[in-house]
Structure 1
Amino acid sequence: MRQIVLDTETTGLDPDDGHRLVEIAGVEIANRQLTGNHLHLYVNPGRDSDPEALAVHGLTTEFLAQYPPVEQVIDEIIAFVKGAEVIIHNAPFDTKFLDAEFTRFGYAPFSSFCGKITDSLVYARELHPGKRNNLDALCDRYGISNEHRVLHGALLDSELLADVWLAMTRGQESLLMSFDRHDDNQKDQSGLARFDASRLPILYATEQDQAAHRAYLDKLAESNKAPALWDSLEGKA
């Protein structure tokens, strides 16, 4: 499935309070490679940004006045994301705005045009529980330079997130590739490698390994004043 890493900027925090999109951008990934294909649109929201939002993205009302309203670019957005897995950091925020803009002008919700929506923030929290997982923290964790990121911008943020996403998910790729070193590997119709578990090597414990395991269980039983669960399951207690 095509992947689109997407980001938006808005006039405020909630479309239910009348806030609107001011910028949307996305970059395309195919076969875990950035293709260079991207979408970047400024839109005229027809209103001022809240001071807090303006401090984040720096897109003034005067600057945005030269761009079309969002209803004139919705078809362009649909064409770019249609059928793709769309990856968004804190997806509920962006999709709520996009759905609101789409339905306001008689379209089906934005999410209905996507193959699926993946929240990279949820993925990062599962991978790094208890740690900061905003975009700046993830860039630092994965060694991705964001020194040029003074203000938030949808295109820059989507490019950084794409690099972060590829880094966060690289372990999955490496695991599959480690099982897939021969020319006789088959691929399915999607072009992805088909995993053949029958080709995994079987490694047996040596006598030294077994002796060390036995000593560990005996020590555990002595410490707990009861047989180790392993021995109980094996019927050796």
Structure 2
Amino acid sequence: MRQFYVIIAIMERLIVMDTETTGIDPKEGHRIIEVGAVEISKREITTSEFHKYVQPNRNVGDSVNIHGITDKFLINKPQFEQISDDLLTFIDGATLIIHNAPFDLGFLNNELKIIGIKKKIEDLCPVIDTLELSKEQRPGTMHNLDALCRRFGIDTSARTRHGALLDAQILAQVYIAMTGGQSILFNEDENIKAQTSDPLIVSKILENKDNIKVIYANEEEVETHNNYFKN
């Protein structure tokens, strides 16, 4: 399994993304049936969103019990190839925030491969895995999305089932709460470059490290972060 790391740093544009699928492994022929993404800019969740249901060319099977998306509902939905250009345009130039990134990226990259696109999502965008970020912040605790919402007091009453857009919206709130100690960073001019110091854990896949932009926190930022999570 590929190993993902995370970083807390100044980001000009963040896209929080989630997917729903017909199963857990694209190698077994499972496909994406929903993609949801929301934008964070200057630590504010904006109204800019991407949301598409996708016809997977196979039955959803038992996964319907997780997300509630039926075969009948998906009959006239576009195939991934029909939404791929819009999706890639939406995430272009952004850093992606995904919970358990290897899962979603595995499916997204499989879909790109099926339609003949050789590049992977992580070749195009840096990736922050909030699952790994949570493990770094609070080792030994639970790290699923529900647990993080309880930890940070985020309302999940609308989340009766998994849904890509709703989960992305909730994860955006979680990420802002997780990185609350970094809020002072976003008051700086967005054109100021981060100073290089001892790195926090970097969001990247090891084998693609040369393709991913790495932003380091300076000593003051690291101290602020550490002090925040002592409370």
TM range (shorter): 0.7 to 0.9
Quote the residue 1:207 is aligned against: none
| Deviations 1:56-107, CA, capped at 9 Å, x for gaps | 1011111011201111110011000012100000000000000000011111
State the aligned residue count: 187
Q: Which position in structure 2 is the counterpart of 1:39? A: 50
Instruction: Give unpaired runs (5+ residues) of structure 1.
Output: 181-185, 198-237
Q: Which secondary structure does the structure 1 equivalent of 2:76 belong to?
A: coil
Whether the 8 Å CA contact 2:14–2:96 is kept in 1: the answer is: yes
**Partner Cα separation in structure 1 for residue 13 and residue 39 of structure 2:** 7
- SS in structure 2 opposite 1:73? helix
Q: How does 1:12-27 map to 2 (within 5 A)?
A: 12-27=23-38
Match of 1:131 in 2: 141
Change (3 A) 1:173 1:47: same
The CA deviation at 1:192 is: 7.7
Greater relative contact order: 1 or 2 (C-alpha under 8 angstroms, separation 6 or more)?
2
After TM superposition, the score normalised by the length of structure 2 is 0.76
Deviation string 1:162-206 (CA, Å, 9 cap, x unpaired) is 0000000001225x58xx8xxxxx746258899797xxxxxxxxx
Q: Secondary structure at the match of 2:89?
A: helix
What's the C-alpha RMSD, in Å, of the aligned pairs? 2.2
Rate the CA distance shift 1:137–1:196 in 2: closer, same or farther, 3 A.
closer
Tell me how far apart the structure 2 counterparts of residues 28 and 192 of structure 1 sit (CA, whole Å): 21
Q: Larger Cα Rg: Structure 1 or Structure 2?
A: 1
1:2 paired with 2:13, answer yes
| In 2, Cα distance between equivalents of 1:145 and 1:99 | 32
Tell me which residue corresponds to 2:227: none
Identity of aligned residues (%): 43
* Structure 1 residue matching 2:143: 3-state secondary structure: coil
- Cα distance, 1:113 vs. partner? 2.3
Distance 1:137 1:17 in 2: 29
Any idea what the Cα deviations from partners look like across 1:92-143, whole Å, max 9, x if unmatched?
Answer: 00000000000111112222222x0110000011111111111111111101
- Counterpart for residue 3 of structure 2: none
TM-score (norm 1): 0.74
- Distance in 2, matches of 1:48 and 1:122, equals 32
CA distance in 2, matches of 1:191, 1:33: 20
**How many angstroms apart in 2 are the aligned matches of 1:21 and 1:101?**
8
CA–CA separation in structure 1 for the residues paired with 2:36 and 2:14: 13
Match of 2:86 in 1: 76
